[in-house]
Amino acid sequence: MTLSAPQALNLWRVTLVESLRRGGPDLTTRQVAVLLTVYMTAPPHTVRGLSADLKVSKAAISRSLDRLSRLELVRRKVDDADRRSVLVQRTVRGSNFLSEFADLVIAAESAVSARPAPSP
């Protein structure tokens, strides 16, 4: 199925609203981008690497990782091979969160495709 722009935005809206209703964490766009990059691209992940991949400052990546770490969605670990580098690792809680979020996207897609797209 190919979504129109209004349908795509509505899919995004319905998914986010349902996530918040279920008590999901209120993440920024940057935090979601960092989280998805860590989980959907091959490791290893470092602050420097995430900064380069996302074209965002290392400080901004660090702030996002601070929040994601507090939520236990990712974990930081000093790289044993290079003690100056910090690895960003996946967690069970983060995997579960993204699996549940994917289910919300799938459910939202069914709901959005079943009715006409609203005008933005």
Decide if pLDDT at 118 tops 70: no
d(CA 100, CA 72): 15
CB 87 within 8 A of CB 46: yes
d(CA 61, CA 63): 5
Q: What is the C-alpha radius of gyration for the chain, rounded to an integer number of angstroms?
A: 16
Amino acid at 118: P
The answer to the question of residue 120 being in a domain is no
The C-alpha angle 72, 45, 64, rounded to 5 degrees, equals 45
Decide if pLDDT at 114 tops 80: no
pLDDT tens digit sequence for 67-108: 999 999 999 999 888 888 889 999 999 999 999 999 999 999
Domain count, the chain: 1
Check which CATH number belongs to the domain holding 40 and give it.
Answer: 1.10.10.10
The answer to the question of residue 104 being in a domain is yes
CB 86 within 8 A of CB 76: yes
